[in-house]
Amino acid sequence: MKEILELSGKMITIDRNEFLKVKGSIDTNVYYVESGSLRVFVLDDFEEQTIRFGYKENLIVALDSFLTGKPSDLFIQAIKKTVIKVIPKSQFDDFLKSETNRNWWTVVLENLVVQQLEREIDILTSSPKERYERVLKRSPQLFQEIPHRYIANYLRMSAETLSRLKKS
């Protein structure tokens, strides 16, 4: 991970609620979150559906746009003031010329695919309580970094349901 941070020659700060990326734009950068937090979401019939979060020491990327170079349906928005390192795709591609780095990136992508599959299955088959417990176990830091209304959206439940589950 340290090597990736050295690829970034640019650091940017985005304010709370500011967008790093909007739907329909192409974004092939990789971002490393120094501080703050972001959410990745899509708009579904005017309703936001959160699909991912990024916070301190996370990489975040509009993966569809990164991989294809095409416009993405994703929005990336700061939840609070966020400082990120920007790693352009050209530098990232150079980084991946090393077999060790390529192997690391493959593991990152494999983990992401497994996480997305687990989440999809959770949303389709698990009760709100099971979804909450699984996310709490997998990412306890999430509850320290992200406001509960966004976590509730991510878990496809109301904020009230999440609050009730946290109390029980």
Domain membership of residue 12 as a residue range? 2-97
- Evaluate whether residue 146 is within a structural domain: no
Cα distances (Å, whole numbers) of residue 137 to 2, 63, 165? 26, 25, 14
Is residue 43, in this structure, part of any structural domain at all? yes
Residue 149 domain-assigned? Answer: no
Torsion (CA) 106, 123, 79, 33 in degrees, nearest 10: -10
Considering the domain boundaries, does residue 158 fall inside one? Answer: no
Say if 166 falls within a structural domain. no
Phi, psi of 137 (to 5 degrees): -70, -45
Place of tokens 């060790």: 100
Domain count along the chain: 1
Does residue 113 sit within a domain?
Answer: no
CATH number of the structural domain spanning residue 13: 2.60.120.10
**Any domain includes 81:** yes
Give the count of beta carbons closer than 10 Å to the beta carbon of residue 46.
Answer: 5
pTM of the model: 0.89
pLDDT value, residue 168: 84
Task: Report the distance separating Cα 136 and Cα 159, nearest Å.
Answer: 15
Residue 1's pLDDT is what? 63
Which residue's structure tokens are 């301190």?
A: 56
pLDDT tens by residue, the chain, 168 residues: 667 777 887 999 999 999 999 999 999 999 999 999 999 999 988 899 999 999 998 999 999 999 999 999 999 999 999 999 999 999 999 999 999 999 999 999 999 899 889 889 988 999 999 999 999 998 888 998 899 999 999 999 999 999 999 888
In 3D space, the residue among 129, 156, 124 whose CA is nearest the CA of residue 47 turns out to be 156
In-domain check, residue 71: yes
